[in-house]
Amino acid sequence: MQSIADAFTLALQLVLSGNADLFEIVALSLRVSLTATFLACLCGLPLGAFMAISRFPGRGILLVLMNALMGLPPVVVGLLVYLHLSRSGPLGFLGLLYTPTAMIIAQTILIAPIIAALSRQVLEDLHMEYAEQFRSLCLNQWQTVTALLWDARYSLLTVGLAGFGRAVAEVGAVIIVGGNIDHLTRVMTTAIALETSKGDLALALALGLLLLTIALGVNAAVQSLRMSARRQAYV
């Protein structure tokens, strides 16, 4: 219990001290996870939209697969990416292992299925409402998908948040492909893991509180955006 009280004080001190190392770690966490979320949306949303509006043989199996991939263990993703990016792996020549780029790639792979599966559900519900009208207008698939994506944009923000939440909170993948190198690939979660392994539980918990606060901030920002959208009846 002592550690928890310490952690709150420590977290406050860390923030107030304006520690440059801490700022660097927080900034990298945000950069890596936000970029990964953006890239995962870039692939996941069109895939989700396509799955939402099309019917083809094997679609059911693909849906099950997509939903199952939401539970992809970060460590497994980390290992897969490591094996590819390792200098002895097929993409080793790129020299990407132990860089923030490698971490972005791993997190993108980790959360793209989440974005795809959740957006599929959101867009399929919306499509139920729009489908007949759209068919009457003779819209092609591209027009349908873009209209659905645009009209569901505020709901999809929540989907993006789910992806971001998983990315920013995971440690298994980034610690393998990033290596938790100080001033290069150290992010909030790997720093927490490191402090835990050093037995500095209060500092680890303080960092955890900061991470929680950041996640809270991002969520609050998106929530306020959604609220204003709801007032416009765009949700």
The contact set with another protein (CB under 8 A) reads: 39, 42-43, 46, 86-89, 92-99, 101, 105, 129-130, 132-133, 135-139, 143, 147, 150-152, 179-182, 184, 194, 196-203, 232-235
Is 122 within 8 Å of 152 (Cβ atoms)?
yes
- Burial of 114 (C-beta count, 10 Å sphere; 0-12/13-18/19+): buried
- Tell me the closest approach of the beta carbon of residue 216 to another protein, in angstroms: 27
- Tell me the closest approach of the beta carbon of residue 232 to another protein, in angstroms: 4
Can you tell me the distance from the alpha carbon of 210 to that of 212, in angstroms, rounded to the nearest whole number? 5
CA geometry: angle at 200 spanning 196 and 204, to 5°? 55
- Tell me the closest approach of the beta carbon of residue 217 to another protein, in angstroms: 27
- Considering beta carbons, is residue 202 or 218 the nearer one to another protein? 202
- Considering beta carbons, is residue 114 or 148 the nearer one to another protein? 148
- Considering beta carbons, is residue 111 or 202 the nearer one to another protein? 202
Contacts of 101 (CB under 8 A, 6+ apart): none
Can you tell me the distance from the alpha carbon of 129 to that of 121, in angstroms, rounded to the nearest whole number? 13
- Tell me the closest approach of the beta carbon of residue 143 to another protein, in angstroms: 5
- Considering beta carbons, is residue 224 or 228 the nearer one to another protein? 228
Tell me how far CA of residue 228 lies from CA of 10, 58, 151, 232, in angstroms.
36, 40, 15, 7
- Tell me the closest approach of the beta carbon of residue 19 to another protein, in angstroms: 15
- Considering beta carbons, is residue 97 or 159 the nearer one to another protein? 97
